[in-house]
Amino acid sequence: MIRSMTGFGKAVSEIRDKKLVIEVRSLNSRQLDLNTRICRFFRDKESEIRSLATKNIERGKADIAVYFENNGTDSVVSINKELFKRYYNELKELSKDVNNEALTNYFSLALNMPEVLSTSSEEISEEDHDALFSTLSDAFTQMNEFRVQEGNVLAKDISKRINLILELLEKVTPFEQERIDLLREKISKNMETFIDKEHVDNVRFEQELFYYIEKLDITEEKVRLAKHCNYFLNTMENEESTGRKLGFIAQEIGREINTLGSKSNHAEIQKIVVMMKDELEKIKEQLLNIL
């Protein structure tokens, strides 16, 4: 069974009369690339959230959003009025000292000065903690279910293309005898052109022909290619987290296809090889999104 790296999960729960929403999105990436956006109330739990995310996401570029739907009323904002007044008066006095004639919003400037505004968050209770991670687990479960569904779609497409490569491999067989006959004819014509027919040693001719046929024999490549394709299909069905392994097998398939093409020495077989390469490239593109 294969899973896609593309996934989405969303879970909602109630915490202190507020609606907690957790969204998880993932896309393909060589390594785990985790980005989190966590509301202030649960900011201290980021390390635990990342730890759980690493176990569930495994690999891919992922975004995790943890927020309250009421736009952050999880904290109380307080204003240090005395400090604000001092900042305000000092800024206004300084403006006069430097003869600043421009219109200046002293109120806004003073409000944004350090320690004028402060927030105080409530402490997280054990119930809050449990609710957070229960909701987070639900979001990861949904994401992984999504990944399985996407993986099934990818598996069907990849299996179809692997089987097409096997079908194309079968089409090579009818041209193998033709290839030998053409090779025999070519060598014979060359010998007749440069050597009198009477001086041709038939035994030596057969030996030379056998040498070239053995050198260009593609039986071994055909057998290995078929084995690699079947191994690919078995791995895809029986193992989990197979993206990298399938990528390695695809490399071996490509190596055999290339060798088959270089040894074929036949136009029709070359056409078949090109079609095999085309299917393999499409498979490799799909493998980039497999976990």
Instruction: Note the pLDDT of residue 72.
Output: 46
For the stretch 8-66, pLDDT in tens is: 999 999 987 889 999 999 999 989 999 999 988 898 899 999 999 999 999 999 999 99
The CATH code belonging to domain 7-73+126-146 is 3.30.230
Q: What is the pLDDT of residue 75?
A: 54
Supply the pLDDT for residue 116. 82
| Antiparallel, parallel or unpaired: β 75-79 and 7-15 | unpaired
Q: What is the pLDDT of residue 201?
A: 63
pLDDT digits (tens, 9 = 90+) for 158-184: 999 999 999 999 999 888 878 777 777
Which is higher by pLDDT, 69 or 211? 69
Report the length, in residues, of the chain.
291
Long-range contacts of 265-270 (CB under 8 A, 24+ apart): 265/179, 265/183, 265/216, 266/175, 266/178, 266/179, 266/182, 268/175, 269/172, 269/175, 269/179
Tens-digit pLDDT profile for residues 65-121: 999 885 444 555 678 888 889 988 988 888 888 887 776 788 888 888 888 876 655
pLDDT at 216: 75
Question: In whole angstroms, how large is the CA radius of gyration of the chain?
Answer: 35
Angle of helix 219-238 relative to helix 126-170, nearest 10 degrees, comes to 160
Structure tokens at 94: 């300084």
With cut-offs at 50, 70 and 90, classify the pLDDT of residue 242. Answer: confident
- Residues 33, 58: contact at Cβ < 8 Å? no
Count Cβ atoms below 10 Å from residue 229 Cβ, excluding itself: 21
pLDDT tens string 248-279: 999 999 999 999 998 887 889 999 999 999 99
For the chain, domain boundaries = 7-73+126-146, 76-121, 150-287
Which pTM value belongs to this model?
0.71
% helix / strand / coil in the chain, to the nearest 5?
65, 15, 20
Pairing between β-strand 60-68 and β-strand 32-38 as defined by DSSP bridges: parallel
Q: Is the pLDDT of residue 146 over 50?
A: yes
Cβ neighbourhood burial of 207 (10 Å; 0-12, 13-18, 19+): exposed
The whole-angstrom separation of Cα 23 and Cα 139 is 7
